[in-house]
A and B are shown apart, each in its own frame.
Chain A
Amino acid sequence: MNFIGLRNWIELFGDVVFWKSLAHNFQLLFMAVIVQFSLGLFLALFITLKKGKGIDFLKISYFVPFILSTVFVGLLWGYIFAWDGMLNTFLDVLHLGGLKQDWLGDPKISLNSAIIATCWRNYPFFMILFQAAIVGIPQSHFEVAQIEGVSKIQMLFFVIIPGIKHTFMNAVLLIILGSLKYFDIIFVMTLGGTNHSAELMATYMYKSAFENLRMGYGSTIAMAMFLLMVIISIVFQIIRKRRDV
């Protein structure tokens, strides 16, 4: 092992691919927050506020993707997004053939396609998290709201959302950290894409270390990822303390 000082770090800061990967991580984060939180919250509300045997079945079914392995999900969705796969077949049947895309082959959209598959697997986690939080809201809050005669929508915005604020902020932190280090499904489905079009920091780290055999540079990327995660967590906790959420 030779020590080369900060040479890897200097290279990293000038490395276009790394910045591109970082941007992709944020794209993943952005889409994951929107898709997984809205789905998770909607379904959590649905399975908590409705009662009955059928609802239990729904809850258990919604959770299925989360127990499946990431490679399984990547390959299954690889089929869904294939040119003659499920999605394009559906579009044909609905006479929407014009919307057909090469979902994974086209470098412009392959990252988004893989992100959708990632969301499909991971949203159940947030669903259960939010569900537990909604169940934890004291019954008296609902009763007071009912006496005040609020509508369902008002109930959502003035009772439920404030009631799960704490869990919600935890979920935000979890999804930030999870998105910054994400690897599995994106790698299985795109291998980083043509010309790094779907590269994430973790896939770039893997490629640098184990395909280009530059362990040192791979470690630099790993450290950059870690530092970023630490800094974001600290800043996030400070903001939370100040705002008291």
Chain B
Amino acid sequence: MRTIKIEKHTENLFKIIIWSLALFWLFVTLYPLFVMVINSLKTRSEYMISTMWALPKKATLNNYLVVLESGFMRSYFNSFIVTFFSLVFMISFSTLAAYGLSKLKFPGSKTVYAIFIAGMMIPIHITIIPIFKLTQSLHLYDSLAGLVGPYVASALPMAIFILKGFIDAVPGELNEAAEIDGADKFVTFRLIILPVLTPAISTVMIYNAVYYWGEFLYALVLTMSKSNRTINLGLWAFYGERGVDLTLIFSALAICSIPLIIVYAIFQERVINGMVAGAVKG
């Protein structure tokens, strides 16, 4: 009896320790975001005298208005444009390429595929100098269009790898049957391959949407002027200009993160699975 009691006791202690660690880490994860939001709602003078965890006495959206008027939203919009076009091009190229490499055997198709796969090994950091040179000589330096090319190219190997895996699983007979019925290659692609690919496409899209939205190094190197900043550069520059006024910085940080967190809260598991699957294979 006694030993059972002791065992029960240690078991409970064990449980308490584990739960408190887990909840402590929840606090470490979410509390900085909470502090960011409540302080973004304070006036500068209130921020100076209040402690950081005190709720604002009179919440004001004034800081947000200042951020919105500072031209910061331009970079937000730029990121939308770049992310959108990069995704459109990346998905169209990679689905078609994966289809071609999987179902339309042509001389050298294995080599082409091998080159794409080799591309997965190459980190973007070592391509940055050649791409900078290339962008300059194409007169795309400091333009949003100049970002789309590298973004699409850096995502293609992983996308093709994942998508080709899915297309390989479609039995060849389906293809042939469609062709006997008189469907041309593109119709086969649209009616037979695309429906199978939907889950894979959503994985690739989620992973790369988050990557494009958060991308920093290419944007830092390939753009310069204020009107071409993406959101991360805009945020960074805003910090450089207005860093002394922390309430403004908190507002800018909130503007950057809250919409993202809301979108994430809607899709939850799909975002998690997409990001991990993408990164493991990439």
Q: Which residues of A contact B (CB under 8 A)?
A: 39, 42-43, 46, 58-72, 75-80, 86, 89, 120, 125, 128-129, 132, 152, 170, 174, 177, 181, 183-184, 188, 202, 205-206, 209-210, 215, 218-219, 222-223, 225-226, 229-230, 233
Contact = CB atoms under 8 A, between A and B. Distances in A.
Contacts of A223: 126
Contacts of A89: 51-52
Given A72-B256, A76-B253, A215-B129, A60 B217 contact: no
A219 B232 contact: no
A229 B123 contact: yes
A16 to B, nearest CB: 22
B232 A80 contact: no
Contacts of A59: 272
Given A64-B29, A215-B133, 11 more contacts: A46-B22, A61-B30, A69-B235, A70-B216, A71-B214, A75-B236, A79-B246, A79-B249, A218-B129, A225-B123, A229-B123
A75 B123 contact: no
A125 B210 CA distance: 13
Given A43-B22, A43-B25, A128-B272, A209 B129 contact: yes
B30 A86 contact: no
Contacts of B121: 230, 233
A233 B128 CA distance: 22
Nearest to A222: B126
Q: Is the interface of A mostly helix, strand, loop or mixed?
A: helix
Interface stretch (B62-70, B108-116, B273-281): B273-281
Nearest to B79: A69
A239 B16 CA distance: 40
Contacts of B210: 67
B133 A60 contact: no
B12 interface: no
Interface string B56-77: 0000000000000000000000
Interface size for chain B: under 10, 10 to 19, 20 to 34, or 35 or more residues? 35 or more
B249 A120 contact: no
A225 B126 contact: yes
A225 B129 CA distance: 13
B123 A62 contact: no
Of residues A39, A72, A177, which shows the largest number of chain B Cβ atoms within 10 Å of its Cβ? A72
B80 interface: no
Given A69-B213, A80-B32, A205 B125 contact: yes
Nearest to A220: B129
Given A66-B275, A183-B217, A223-B126, A58 B22 contact: yes
A76 B36 contact: yes
A125 B279 CA distance: 9
A71 B246 contact: no
Contacts of B14: 152
B235 to A, nearest CB: 5
A39 to B, nearest CB: 7
B235 A128 contact: no
B268 interface: yes
Given A69-B213, A72-B253, A219 B125 contact: no
A75 B276 contact: no
A181 B127 CA distance: 12
A69 B123 contact: no
A193 B38 CA distance: 31
A85 B28 CA distance: 15
